[in-house]
Amino acid sequence: MKDRNIALITGANGKTGSRVAARLTQLQHPVRLAGRAHPAEWEGKDYVYFDWYDESTHTKALINVDRVYLVVPVLDINPAKVMNPFIEKALRAGVKRFVLLGSASVSEDGPIFGPVHQALSRLAPEWAVLQPSYFMENFTEGQHVSTIKNTSTIYSATGDGRVGFVSADDIAEVGVRALIDDKPHNTAHVITGPQSLTYGEVGKIIGKLTGQAIQHISLPDEELKAGMVRAGMPEEYADMLAGLDRRIRENGSEDQVTHTVERVTGRRPISFEQFVLSHGDSWK
């Protein structure tokens, strides 16, 4: 039998999973890519078809695995119902360490990530929960790209609320350390960039590079929610996301800057200005 030292990466084609896998590979740590997609660039790599809702795909994924990067299934308001049984199965299979991608917006007692966070801290001998602020990549790979390119606008319901936007590269680097450091972290890491910004300030930074005036339009909560539902998002999930924007606007829930990236990785987090300079082609 091979040594049990493989890192299983769920959500391996996602924003952080792909980066965690790439960095582990660069560090020559064995990686198994897990997901329902099989991109061409994974040809010849250790890949398993993996579906959170199909238990028959779980056993093969865990062979010779001793650590797992956990990404919740997309748009599931209650992922614990499939993730917690998987965690228990992984523990029985000999997995020791788990790293969960959560959110700075959601506490251990909150919805979605919270019950999984609680299960890890209760059951796993070695664990960490990544709680990043909003991704800088939302403006290059996510929901804001098309509106910036097509109408020079950014839509949210955050008003003048501030957010500690963070790069997925920095999130992934913290995740890698949590997966492979000799000493388990056994904690939650709130991860932010080096400054908190309003969406209006983000628009000005992008506009300065692209030479176009980019306006932030803060929508009423119900209008934001309705737009997400029209785009195909389940109503309950859209309501939750609109509520997060409301908390940013009214309570400053994301107006924080932590030193987690530098403390855990030894390098300073990427600033939004640096991020924009390296992604200038995204809005052409």
- Whole-number Å distance between alpha carbons of 200 and 198: 5
- Whole-number Å distance between alpha carbons of 19 and 129: 17
The set of residues, in sequence order, having a beta carbon less than 8 Å from that of 79 and lying 6+ positions away, is: 52, 72, 73, 112, 113, 116
Residue 187 maps to a domain: no
**208 and 280 co-located in one domain:** yes
Q: What is the CATH number of the domain that holds 154?
A: 3.90.25.10
**155 and 276 co-located in one domain:** yes
**100 and 43 co-located in one domain:** yes
Tell me what pLDDT residue 1 has: 39
| Residue 271 DSSP one-character state | P
**60 and 155 co-located in one domain:** no
The set of residues, in sequence order, having a beta carbon less than 8 Å from that of 136 and lying 6+ positions away, is: 165, 166, 167, 168, 193, 270, 272, 275
Tell me what pLDDT residue 122 has: 97
> Tokens 């795909």 correspond to what residue?
57
Long-range contacts of 237-246 (CB under 8 A, 24+ apart): 237/75, 237/77, 240/77, 240/111, 240/112, 242/157, 244/105, 245/156, 245/157, 245/158, 245/161, 245/221, 246/157, 246/221
Provide the β-strand partners of residue 218. Answer: 156
Residue 186 maps to a domain: no
pLDDT, mean of each 10-residue run, the chain (284 residues): 81 97 97 92 93 97 98 96 98 98 95 97 98 98 93 97 98 98 98 98 94 96 97 95 97 98 98 95 89
pTM: predicted TM-score of the whole model, two decimal places:
0.96
Q: What is the CATH number of the domain that holds 51?
A: 3.40.50.720
**30 and 147 co-located in one domain:** no
Task: Please give the residue range of the domain that contains residue 225.
Answer: 134-167+192-254+268-284
**36 and 102 co-located in one domain:** yes
Q: How many domains does the chain have?
A: 2
Residue 179 maps to a domain: no
Tell me what pLDDT residue 40 has: 85
Residue 175 maps to a domain: no
**57 and 111 co-located in one domain:** yes
> Tokens 């007692």 correspond to what residue?
109
Tell me what pLDDT residue 41 has: 85
**79 and 147 co-located in one domain:** no
**139 and 128 co-located in one domain:** no
Tell me what pLDDT residue 163 has: 98
Provide the β-strand partners of residue 216. Answer: 154
**73 and 104 co-located in one domain:** yes
Angle at 148 between CA 236 and CA 208, to 5 degrees: 135
| Residue 142 DSSP one-character state | S
**210 and 148 co-located in one domain:** yes
| 10-19 residues labelled b (16+ CB within 10 A) or e (exposed) | bbbbbbbbbb
**127 and 140 co-located in one domain:** no
